[in-house]
């Protein structure tokens, strides 16, 4: 009895021989048990393997299956055993053939004699056997010529399956004999679709020799009238497909393909686009030849040429110049393709940029937009191009002016001469141009005085929107000259509240303001627009020191219902002057202001040691009362009737 212990252990040769002897037993169960025992052994001697190989044709399927498992686990079977297995490849029993093929398929290398036997199974009726044979042959990277010819002999059979497996095997070969390659090339122009497809399949997966690529290329431009048109066109298209699949075509073939770009036949033109577009990097000579077609009278040819150039990541200057000319093409598809090509170039040469800039004058808005799009993609335009663009800023056509200003607005730094021209557009009749000019000037961190003067001159414009634009531009400058500041001070009293507010905001951005300007800012403290009043307070509160003349002017605004609270905020920052206000005419005014404020912040007003003390969140402000009784009388007079004076003589606002 065979036990599991025997199955799992490494058996000595004497035991193995005894087990092998059971392979011939009449009882299939005994044979199967013997095979299973051998299957558990990691390594078997050749003599044992021979005996096992004989079981490939066993009538019992379980025995055959176990036999296949044993032999498939052997990485390299001896030739004698392989021949014995190969002899079973032609067995009448399909199960036996299948088992033999499976064993041969497990071997990494097979001798020629064995391969011949495998080739014979390519015609087997059983698809599993055929597939196994194909897989075995496909795994051989270099089949001998005799075997390849045997496979090629099947290429004349107009059966898609037969041709399919033949091609599948040939594709895996590192090199094919010329005789077979010629046969494959002949398929390209075969009348039968099966052969044409087979040719395309093979060529798409193999690197073809130059000689055959030239022959294929010749088929694309073959216009033999005697041939059936449909077959001729199909052959050309298959040939084109073959060339497309080649990673690198020889220059001679590429030259031939370039000529097809202008072919009358649209299929040939499409083939050219497809082939040249599939090449990752075309030589400059080829690119120039394609570029020569960009200006063709036929729009289809131009479109084909542009499409090919668009597939290339880098183009020489001469080619780019030809592409730039197509930015003005009447065909929108060609224009778009040209724009896309140029926009993909990070740095275009000056000649190309000049050619593009010339399109800003075009009457067609699409062309102008295309030119703007290209120029705007360039991080830095040369001065000569910028001057050319700036010259269009004064064009009679507002659309051209707008396009020019748009381009300039994308540049980080512009020369003063150009900025001056742009500044003149601030008063343009067309609002789009005006705002485009704003974008340009507003993007510049520092504008020259001469440019600022041009902008400031617009502060007197009759149109409020022009004045607003001027204020906006000036507001972005951190240090304005006195002349400009004076002009801004005048705008503080503009009829438009938005302008008044903007003018004050501009002054607020300046680090230091002269008294003349600050006097002008005092007036808006009483402005009817709250935003304007607040803006003025901010300017005055930011000044570390205000002259007495200005402080007195602010103090007068304590009498204004609108300005009183804001004026007090400005004055309290100047303690010495503020203290002088707690006498005479201003006591009543301050009392009412502080009383209102006491409901919003902690405030108290009292007399201590003959001093008037106003306690605020930021400290106590003290001043001499002079005649204390007179001071108290003035406070009492200022105090609302409903509020009584405290008995201890201390005057409080709450």
- Per-residue pLDDT of 248-267, as tens digits, reads 777 787 887 878 777 777 77
Domain boundaries, the chain: 478-566, 574-654
Per-residue model confidence (pLDDT) at position 520:
93
Tell me which residue of 364, 412, 367 sits closest to 386, measured CA to CA.
Answer: 412
Whether 220 has a pLDDT exceeding 60, the answer reads no
- Residue 209, helix vs strand vs coil: coil
Percent of all residues in the chain with a pLDDT value above 90, rounded to a whole number:
6
For 341-400, write each residue's pLDDT tens digit. Answer: 888 877 888 888 888 888 888 888 888 888 888 888 887 888 888 888 888 887 888 888
Whether 160 has a pLDDT exceeding 80, the answer reads no
Q: What distance, in Å, lies between the first and last C-alpha atoms of the chain?
A: 116
For 278-330, write each residue's pLDDT tens digit. Answer: 777 888 888 888 888 887 888 888 888 888 888 887 888 888 888 888 888 88
Averaged pLDDT for residues 201-227: 54
Q: Are strands 611-616 and 604-608 parallel, antiparallel or unpaired?
A: antiparallel
Distance CA 351, CA 354 (A): 5
Give rounded-to-5 percent helix, strand, coil for the chain.
65, 5, 30
Distance CA 81, CA 46 (A): 8
- What is the average pLDDT value for the chain, to the nearest integer? 78
Whether 409 has a pLDDT exceeding 90, the answer reads no
Tell me which residue of 95, 96, 94, 100 sits closest to 118, measured CA to CA.
Answer: 100
Averaged pLDDT for residues 191-209: 56
Say how far residue 39 (Cα) sits from the centre of its chain.
59
Angle between helices 28-39 and 61-72 (to 10 degrees): 20
Tell me which residue of 386, 358, 383 sits closest to 371, measured CA to CA.
Answer: 358
Mean pLDDT is lowest, of 41-45, 46-50, 173-177, 632-636, for 173-177
Distances (CA, A) of 59 to 62, 71, 94, 110, 293: 9, 18, 12, 27, 74
**DSSP states along 449-468:** HHHHHHHHGGGG-SSHHHHH
| pTM assigned to the model | 0.45
């Amino acid at each position: 009895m065979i036990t599991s212990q025997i199955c799992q252990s490494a058996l000595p040769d004497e035991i193995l021989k005894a087990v092998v002897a059971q392979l011939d037993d009449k009882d299939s169960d005994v044979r199967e048990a013997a095979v299973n025992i051998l299957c558990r052994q990691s390594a078997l001697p050749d003599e044992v393997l021979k005996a096992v190989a004989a079981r490939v044709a066993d009538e019992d399927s379980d025995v055959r299956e176990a036999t296949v498992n044993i032999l498939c686990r052997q990485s390299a079977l001896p030739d004698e055993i392989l021949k014995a297995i190969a002899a079973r490849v032609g067995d009448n029993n399909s199960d036996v053939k299948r088992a033999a093929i499976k064993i041969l398929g497990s071997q990494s290398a097979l001798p020629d004699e064995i391969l011949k036997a495998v080739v014979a199974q390519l015609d087997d009726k059983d698809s599993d056997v055929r597939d196994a044979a194909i897989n075995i042959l496909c795994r051989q990277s270099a089949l001998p010529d005799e075997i390849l010819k045997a496979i090629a002999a099947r290429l004349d059979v107009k059966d898609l399956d037969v041709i399919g497996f033949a091609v599948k095997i040939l594709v895996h070969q590192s090199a094919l004999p010329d005789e077979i390659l010629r046969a494959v090339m002949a398929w390209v122009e075969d009348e039968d679709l099966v052969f044409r497809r087979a040719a395309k399949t093979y060529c798409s997966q193999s690197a073809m020799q130059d000689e055959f690529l030239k022959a294929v290329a010749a088929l694309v431009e073959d216009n033999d009238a005697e041939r059936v048109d449909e077959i001729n066109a199909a052959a050309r298209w298959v040939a084109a497909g073959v060339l497309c699949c080649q990673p690198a075509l020889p220059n001679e073939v590429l030259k031939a393909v370039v000529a097809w770009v202008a072919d009358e036949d649209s299929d040939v033109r499409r083939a050219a686009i497809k082939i040249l577009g599939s090449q990752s990097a075309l030589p400059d000579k080829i690119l120039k030849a394609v570029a020569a077609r960009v200006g063709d009278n036929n729009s289809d040819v131009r479109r084909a040429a542009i499409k090919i150039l668009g597939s290339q990541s880098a183009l020489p200057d001469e080619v780019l110049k030809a592409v730039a000319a197509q930015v003005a093409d009447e065909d929108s598809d060609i224009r778009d393709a040209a724009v896309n090509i140029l926009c993909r170039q990070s740095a275009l040469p000056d000649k190309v940029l000049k050619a593009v800039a010339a399109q800003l004058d075009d009457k067609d808005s699409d062309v102008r937009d295309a030119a703007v799009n290209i120029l705007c993609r360039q991080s830095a335009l040369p001065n000569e191009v910028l001057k050319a663009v700036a010259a269009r800023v004064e064009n009679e056509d507002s659309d051209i002016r707008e396009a020019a200003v748009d381009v300039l607005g994308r540049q980080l730094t512009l020369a003063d001469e150009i900025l001056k021209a742009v500044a003149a557009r601030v008063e343009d009749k067309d609002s789009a141009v005006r705002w485009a000019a704003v974008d340009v000037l507003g993007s510049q961190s520092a504008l020259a005085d001469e440019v600022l003067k041009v902008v400031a001159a617009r502060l007197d414009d009759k149109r409020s929107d022009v004045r607003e634009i001027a204020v906006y531009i000036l507001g972005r400058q951190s240090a304005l000259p006195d002349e400009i500041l004076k002009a801004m001070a005048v705008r503080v009293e503009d009829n438009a509240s938005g302008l008044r507010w903007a003018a004050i905001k501009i002054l607020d951005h300046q680090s230091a303001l002269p008294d003349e300007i600050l006097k002008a800012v005092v007036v808006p403290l009483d402005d009817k627009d709250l935003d304007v009043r607040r803006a003025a307070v901010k300017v005055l509160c930011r000044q570390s020191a205000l002259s007495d003349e200005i402080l007195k002017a602010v103090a007068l605004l304590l009498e204004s219902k609108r300005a009183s609270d804001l004026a007090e905020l400005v004055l309290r920052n100047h303690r010495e002057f503020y203290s002088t206000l707690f006498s005479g005419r201003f006591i009543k005014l301050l009392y009412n202001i502080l009383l209102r404020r006491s409901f919003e912040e902690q405030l108290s007003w009292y007399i201590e040691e003959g001093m008037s003390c106003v306690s605020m969140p930021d400290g106590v402000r003290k001043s001499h009362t002079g005649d204390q009784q007179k001071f108290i009388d003035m406070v009492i007079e200022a105090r609302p009737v409903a509020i009584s004076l405290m008995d201890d003589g201390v005057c409080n606002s709450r």
